Structure 1
Amino acid sequence: ATMPSDLLKPLAVFARQPQSQRYIKAIRNLGDAWRSLAEEPLPESDATSILVETNFDLIVKIKNAKEEQSSSSSPVIVEISTREPLVTPNEESSVSEPPRHYRIFADWGTDFIWRDFDDLRGEEGDCMLEAEEILCSPFYPPSVFEHYDAWVETYTENFNQRRNKTGDFHASTFANVAEEVAWNVAGYLLAWRIAMAPDVGSIEFSAGVSKYMIEKGEETSVTLAFLQDQAELLAKGEPVA
């Protein structure tokens, strides 16, 4: 099946928003939102692919996204990878420790990252986490924490300006839907980078009223569902967060 062009709109909005620029290393083949910091052309085999490379060691390739004719022989496939080789835990620790499961959702005054309820162990007591507890592990380059921290800060600053300072708690956190969608896309990409670590089993990522189960092997289905929802949010034209 061909990829409906409106599914690309959330990526185009992300590419254009000022808040997103810190996260983007290169975006290629995305129509008018195209910009490339790396001059190397995409190989012929990727002529119909869209590539998003972030500054936090995550590369998303959407294959067959730009097929003119929909054809069952070339379905849309989303591939997510890291540029740095993933650190593998040593044998002993990987055997004894089952993977961890997290949730990421915006809640003012927190770091937006929580343990899954069913994954609380022994002494942990509480689901709430500091981002450092997870992201300062050897499984992540420092850029992951740095950009995740900036992502949380963007929401928190908006919330403070638009709600806390005005006292209007019915106000939306973001001034317009494009800002919200760009922030959601950044968070979705960050959640995937966190989920790439060998000791992470899954991350339930929330955007607006929807939740997405991010786990290795589900790249295509969950990414298309997420982009579909963000495209619908853009079409409605009203921020919901």
Structure 2
Amino acid sequence: MGIYLYKSFSYNAQKITYADLMKGITEEKIDKIVIHQNEEVPTGSVTVYYKNNSTGQMYVSDVNQYIDLFDDLGVTYELKDVEKKRDIGIYVFIILVLVVGLFIFFVGFNKSISSSGGGGAMMDFGKSRARQINEDVRNIDFTKVAGLKEEKEELAEIVDFLKDPKKYTDMGARIPKGILLEGPPGTGKTLLAKAVAGEAKVNFFTISGSDFVEMFVGVGASRVRDLFTVAKANSPCIIFIDEIDAVARRRGSGMGGGHDEREQTLNQLL
């Protein structure tokens, strides 16, 4: 659009051919000839002003040939360099269009945020995406998990702690900060975690590790904090983080002494 408007501002002249030019010279119908040349390339244009006040123009690949031609014929002409102001004008116009477009975009974006509740969409960006599942988990216990005898025996003590924590705290015992279930997909890790919640009759939160990581730095750590805030409000409960390797990172390995998004999320989680 900018290029089209720019061209419409150029001089309105009728296109002529080489034959029309020579005919005008021989019949002495031409009042003035102006050659427009480029500084860096030999291309340009020849503008012819006729005595009847009409104007013709032709674009040429080499203006030097026409300069030599007019010199040989003894035709008077005027030589002008192509003004670079026109090139600047088109760039200014395009930049103006981009600025106006960005302004309209941000106005529409702010309106969409306001219509969603006074910036609630931006505030919810750092909220946890964990799902609380209680009804389905109530009916799941260790009898629904086939095999995994040793794993269920290890987790039975966790279930007993969740049911009667006072018995353990009186003895000075402390529950583990977390339990790592390792195994290939489809081996029953999620079902086993639900069975622990079902046996202990506690709330169950599930989230994928990839839900923590975003392109914006700090979002993952914010979601971890929000997740544990919600979990504390619904304690006792179990938080099951599936595919935790999505935030896998060796601590302190940030480039340039800094921390990337995954490392910040992992540090907050630990």
Structure number with the bigger relative contact order (C-alpha 8 A, sep ≥ 6) is 1
More helix by share: 2
From the CA coordinates, give the structure whose radius of gyration is larger. 2
